[in-house]
Amino acid sequence: MFVFFNYLTRMPLYLVWLVGIILGLIYWRRHPRISALATIAFGGLFAAMLFNPVGGPWGSPWAFGSRWTGSQMNFMLVFGGLFSTLLNTAAWVLILLAIFGGRQPPVPAPPQDKVGS
């Protein structure tokens, strides 16, 4: 039950990530570098959620405590949390690069011929 409510309360966040991935795919041709960075970042945030030891689909150690030994729960909390944190950090670095990374100057519009002058 804990895992279900954890997902339910975070559903708006997951929907924002999904919208970010969809927008990245839609705008890929117009802004390929920015779209690629954003799409990978939002996918990384989703992947980090999967490896979150407390709220991911693997469940919480408290929910599965009767099946796991203390050392297994400790391993999951330490390394799952570390992996989740590293994925989150990498995703946010990509988002920062997408927003503030060097951009090409806009292509100037071609000169228009003035008819009748």
Residue partners of 35: CB distance under 8 A and separation at least 6: 23, 24, 25, 27, 28
Query: Is 58 among the domain residues?
Result: yes
Cα separation, 53 vs 29, in Å, equals 37
Global pTM exceeds 0.85 = no
Query: Is 93 among the domain residues?
Result: yes
Token duo for residue 67: 């099946």
Query: Is 114 among the domain residues?
Result: no
Helical packing angle, 81-100 and 32-50, nearest 10° = 160
For 29-56, the pLDDT digits (tens) are 888 899 999 999 999 998 888 766 655 5
Beta strands in 50-102 (DSSP E): none
Token duo for residue 73: 């729960």
The boundaries of the domain holding residue 23 are 2-100
Query: Is 21 among the domain residues?
Result: yes
Identify the band that residue 114 occupies on the pLDDT scale cut at 50, 70 and 90. Answer: confident
Query: Is 117 among the domain residues?
Result: no
Query: Is 6 among the domain residues?
Result: yes
Identify the band that residue 76 occupies on the pLDDT scale cut at 50, 70 and 90. Answer: confident
